[in-house]
Structure 1
Amino acid sequence: MSGRRIFELITSAAADGSAARLGKISLPGRKAIETPNFFAATSRGSVPHLTPDNLRRHTPVSGVYMALEEFIEKKEPPVQHTPVRETSRRLHSFTALPSNTVSILGPRRCAAVATPFGNTPKTITVFTSTGFRNVTVPEFTSYIQALQPDIVLPLADIPNVSATPSSKKLARMVDRTEVWLDEFFDRMDLSKSSDSLGSSVFAPVLPVDHPIQWDYLRHLSEDVLDKLSGLAVYDTNILPDLVNYPSLAPLPKLSMDPPKTPQEVLRQIFLGIDICTLMFVNSTSDAGVAMTFSFPPPSVDKVQPLGINMWSSEHNTAVVPLLEGCQCYTCTKHHRAYLRHLLNAKEMLGWNLLQIHNHHVVNEFFAGIREALGKGQAAFEDAMHKFAAAYEPLFPEGTGERPRARGYHFKSEAGSEKINKPAWIDLDKGAGVTEITSVVESGTPSSESQDVTPAEVINVEAAAAALSLS
């Protein structure tokens, strides 16, 4: 199996310590991606709140990251048995992904859910729709051969717990990952399907210190370089050490260390990341926050927020776009008052429109980064410093209820509370008929009915009506 060269380096890193650079990723049958850029994070194969047709029509998303653990079950994963033409990529067909959008398939979510037990010498632990299970290299290879993603991230022994592993454990992680990578390549070489619809391989760079994985990085740069198309970096702090391996420099670097803010995105690009996997776009839209930042930042007298809370009552009658001058579908067709109404009514269209707007803002943010890099490293670094001074360090918190929880919201820690509140109350264990009547008549819970919340009033009304008929 030989690696496909998919990356064209336009400008190289500067000599002053910055590794930011311009490039272009080109994959057969897909639209070329100018870098630095971002890929959207998916849930069960789709970008949250967006159907494939709206993703194609109203967003500039050029690539998506998908997790294998969201498609498989404990037995007979249905995704493998989806009928599809031999000449097409099954993952695109199964998820109805737009034909010009790049697909990346990795074993686990970004960021992954903590598992109750760790990986073994031959398997990694994943969280499927039917619970936790193990995946071996032969299984993973069979999935890749069946699904044919554009880019694949092989198995990596990444710690599943928040506690820092011991040095011996870290060394075992590196050794296992190297063995798994070599086995993956060997099995792909034996596959006939890899000759016609091969997947570009991005080798994992582990979240451990350089002295522990230096021999693994040497293995990548010398022994299997001809089979690689890129690197998947799980801790961007390792990037300065990669200068010791000049043969890896021409490879594109995908960040699997998800940034939480635009400021962290800029830092990762400064260190040499070409593609960022962004989770904060989904979480910001879920919170009901519309992004308002830009790069380079505008000249302002005071620090500006990174977004606006669309749940705020100040938007009740605001017939202005979410962001002045924004050319996204949401801002050109609707206004803040309408969006706030949709959120308050729990209409899914509200989150649809927010997701469209936020992806547009992020796309313009990366376009500004590329434009600044085109003017030179000094212009980019100057804009970075101005951005840090112009905007608050964190996104505002949404004050309303977010939509239904999805797979990547799952919390496996003991004692974790449910993310979504129940929509119905138990009449036997909760409020009695007297409390229900009080809620229906007043519209708010009485002092004796503290178990009934305003969000349950509509359901309580229905229950009271049913009781009156009985």
Structure 2
Amino acid sequence: MSECYVPGGMKLELCKVVRGCRLGVLSAFGHSGQCSIELPGCLLYTRCATVPHLTQDTLHTLTNLPAVTHVTLDSLAEHHEVLEEFKEGVRKFAGLHETALYCSLRDPSTTSPTGHITNKTVSVWGSGGRIELTVAKFMALQAAIQPDFYQSMADGETWQENTSRKRVRKAVDRTLAHLDECLILHQKMQELQQAEIFGVVEGGDILEERVRSARETAKRPVAGFVLDGFQSPAMEQDLRSQLITAVTAELPPEKPRLLQGVGRPDEVIALVEAGVDLFEGFFPFQVTERGCALNFNFTITPDSESAVLESNGELSAVKELKENGDSGPENMTQFEINLKDTRYREDFRPLVEGCDCYCCKNHTRAYIHHLLMTNELLTGVLLMLHNIAHYLGFFRALRAAVASDRLQDLKDRVLQ
């Protein structure tokens, strides 16, 4: 196992690299310096520092939760004055206890209005409307939030289709200029002395700009890298993987790479092969909001432990819906089942046979269908518990597949 030290104390230990896939542990961060997260891994998604639909007590009925909680600046910016007055950061304010905090600029599960970027500012959107941020205000917010690591301010609006080369080049230049200013202020702020700053790699779908952004960002004293602008559904998976492979080739192997805006299991596997270490955990929330439940097979070893999350063997949700002439919710994927569908009205099986989450151990598909049809608030609680558990199980299976050099077997299972 090779040990690599990141500025400020964060330590990346890579125990295996298999055809681009990096297996290891990121450790020695957090306010206690004792936090660690296995790679490849995902963060715990929150809105305004709270997991949607779940209280802290309900959340902790789940085991093996990620050691890093993801908070977003757009959900916290309007509370700047309160946090500044509180003085002890979001972790204590929200009762997050021993978890480490990562702060990104925007919520990956929503799309913000575009066209509000200038050479000196970016904008985020809270419940009260647009909030314009200079680098000074951006960094003051980070000082009030007191994350353990955070992305630098960036121009991330080049993910849209048909963005011109000139606009992409300007975004890369702005992002590098913002990073330089953030690094200067980072050194001066006492509240951020224990925090790490991650540089953001932009460049849209233009290979030359992606490589330039990665190469220049890697020259700065950052603790890790955020790969941004890959969330467009119009970007083909092959192009996304090609761009990320080119980017990671320019980044030092001893620093972690976090990808924003991508969470589908098939895409996660492809991007792990391209060298990505960390992902945002928003996908279970999106599935929950559609009234759906994650139900895909990621078991490659038929032992008793992995069989816990063995799929129940039915056809994929997309195929079922097509055969029956029904239509699922917008953006529904083949990795989930639509529990609003009438076929589940008398289906008394759990969401996934053998799943160990509270929902699957205590309730049936028919009950969740009933809750959805009557708009009960409990629906979101039960679906969120299951979807988080299933998604985290997928990441455990992903790490095990890389460790045993069986990633192709996992890919075949997930995509079958």
Q: Normalising by the residue count of structure 2, what TM-score does the alignment of the two structures yield?
A: 0.81
- Aligned match of 2:201: 205
Larger strand fraction of residues: 2
Tell me the SS of whatever aligns to 2:61.
helix
**CA separation of 1:299/1:66 partners in 2, compared to 1, >3 Å: closer, same or farther?**
closer
Tell me the SS of whatever aligns to 2:296.
coil
- Aligned match of 2:222: 228
Indicate if the aligned counterparts of 1:71 and 1:129 stay in contact, CA closer than 8 A.
no
Distance of 1:233 and 1:171 partners within structure 2 = 16
Spell out the pairing of 1:441-456 with structure 2 (5 A cutoff).
none
Amino acid of the structure 2 residue aligned with 1:272: G
- Aligned match of 1:92: 91
Percent identity between the aligned chains?
26
Amino acid of the structure 2 residue aligned with 1:22: L
| Residues matched between the structures, number | 369
Amino acid of the structure 2 residue aligned with 1:203: G
- Aligned match of 1:36: 40
- Aligned match of 2:411: 384
Aligned partner of 2:393 among 350, 356, 364? 364
Once the two structures are TM-superposed, the CA of residue 178 in structure 1 deviates from its matched residue by 0.9
- Aligned match of 1:182: 180
Amino acid of the structure 2 residue aligned with 1:135: L
**CA separation of 1:117/1:299 partners in 2, compared to 1, >3 Å: closer, same or farther?**
closer
Distance of 1:161 and 1:220 partners within structure 2 = 19
Tell me the SS of whatever aligns to 1:77.
helix
- Aligned match of 1:50: 54
Indicate if the aligned counterparts of 2:149 and 2:196 stay in contact, CA closer than 8 A.
yes
**Does 2:183 correspond to 1:150?**
no
Indicate if the aligned counterparts of 1:342 and 1:349 stay in contact, CA closer than 8 A.
yes
Displaced runs of 4+ in structure 1, greater than 6 A? 298-302
Distance of 1:302 and 1:313 partners within structure 2 = 16
Tell me the SS of whatever aligns to 1:32.
strand
Indicate if the aligned counterparts of 1:258 and 1:278 stay in contact, CA closer than 8 A.
no
Distance of 1:72 and 1:300 partners within structure 2 = 44
**CA separation of 1:112/1:359 partners in 2, compared to 1, >3 Å: closer, same or farther?**
closer
**Does 2:246 correspond to 1:241?**
yes
- Aligned match of 1:113: 111
Question: Gaps spanning 5+ residues in structure 2: where?
Answer: 1-5, 231-239, 301-309, 318-334
**CA separation of 1:10/1:113 partners in 2, compared to 1, >3 Å: closer, same or farther?**
same
- Aligned match of 1:5: 10
**Does 2:218 correspond to 1:218?**
no
Once the two structures are TM-superposed, the CA of residue 303 in structure 1 deviates from its matched residue by 4.8
Question: Gaps spanning 5+ residues in structure 1: where?
Answer: 391-470
- Aligned match of 1:410: none
**CA separation of 1:122/1:60 partners in 2, compared to 1, >3 Å: closer, same or farther?**
same
Amino acid of the structure 2 residue aligned with 1:221: A
Distance of 1:154 and 1:37 partners within structure 2 = 21
- Aligned match of 1:295: 298
Distance of 2:313 and 2:56 partners within structure 1 = 41
Tell me the SS of whatever aligns to 2:337.
strand
Once the two structures are TM-superposed, the CA of residue 2 in structure 1 deviates from its matched residue by 4.3
RMSD of the TM alignment (CA)? Answer: 2.6
**CA separation of 1:387/1:69 partners in 2, compared to 1, >3 Å: closer, same or farther?**
closer
Between structure 1 and structure 2, the one with the greater Rg is: 1
| Deviation digits for residues 34-93 of structure 1 (CA, Å, limit 9, x no counterpart) | 1111123322222211112222233543133222121223xx7344235255xxxx1112
Distance of 1:265 and 1:155 partners within structure 2 = 25
Tell me the SS of whatever aligns to 1:71.
helix
Tell me the SS of whatever aligns to 1:180.
helix
Amino acid of the structure 2 residue aligned with 1:202: F
| Deviation digits for residues 145-197 of structure 1 (CA, Å, limit 9, x no counterpart) | 221112201111111783533222211111111111011111111223333xx
Distance of 1:282 and 1:253 partners within structure 2 = 23
Distance of 1:335 and 1:190 partners within structure 2 = 55
Tell me the SS of whatever aligns to 1:384.
helix
Distance of 1:161 and 1:271 partners within structure 2 = 19
**CA separation of 1:299/1:290 partners in 2, compared to 1, >3 Å: closer, same or farther?**
closer
Indicate if the aligned counterparts of 1:111 and 1:258 stay in contact, CA closer than 8 A.
no
Distance of 1:317 and 1:116 partners within structure 2 = 45
Amino acid of the structure 2 residue aligned with 1:205: V
Distance of 2:253 and 2:343 partners within structure 1 = 50
Distance of 1:84 and 1:167 partners within structure 2 = 43
Indicate if the aligned counterparts of 1:82 and 1:94 stay in contact, CA closer than 8 A.
no
**CA separation of 1:7/1:113 partners in 2, compared to 1, >3 Å: closer, same or farther?**
same
Tell me the SS of whatever aligns to 2:70.
strand
Distance of 2:311 and 2:140 partners within structure 1 = 54
Distance of 1:300 and 1:287 partners within structure 2 = 21
Tell me the SS of whatever aligns to 2:245.
helix
Once the two structures are TM-superposed, the CA of residue 138 in structure 1 deviates from its matched residue by 0.7
Amino acid of the structure 2 residue aligned with 1:46: T
Distance of 2:74 and 2:379 partners within structure 1 = 29
Indicate if the aligned counterparts of 1:4 and 1:228 stay in contact, CA closer than 8 A.
no
**CA separation of 1:4/1:220 partners in 2, compared to 1, >3 Å: closer, same or farther?**
farther
Q: Normalising by the residue count of structure 1, what TM-score does the alignment of the two structures yield?
A: 0.72
Spell out the pairing of 1:273-288 with structure 2 (5 A cutoff).
273-288=276-291
Tell me the SS of whatever aligns to 1:278.
coil
Distance of 2:311 and 2:336 partners within structure 1 = 17
Indicate if the aligned counterparts of 1:294 and 1:364 stay in contact, CA closer than 8 A.
no
Aligned partner of 2:275 among 259, 262, 272? 272
**CA separation of 1:60/1:339 partners in 2, compared to 1, >3 Å: closer, same or farther?**
farther
Amino acid of the structure 1 residue aligned with 2:174: R
Indicate if the aligned counterparts of 2:257 and 2:276 stay in contact, CA closer than 8 A.
yes
Tell me the SS of whatever aligns to 1:33.
strand
**CA separation of 1:331/1:121 partners in 2, compared to 1, >3 Å: closer, same or farther?**
same
Distance of 1:292 and 1:185 partners within structure 2 = 43
Distance of 1:231 and 1:272 partners within structure 2 = 12
Indicate if the aligned counterparts of 1:114 and 1:160 stay in contact, CA closer than 8 A.
no
Amino acid of the structure 1 residue aligned with 2:316: Q
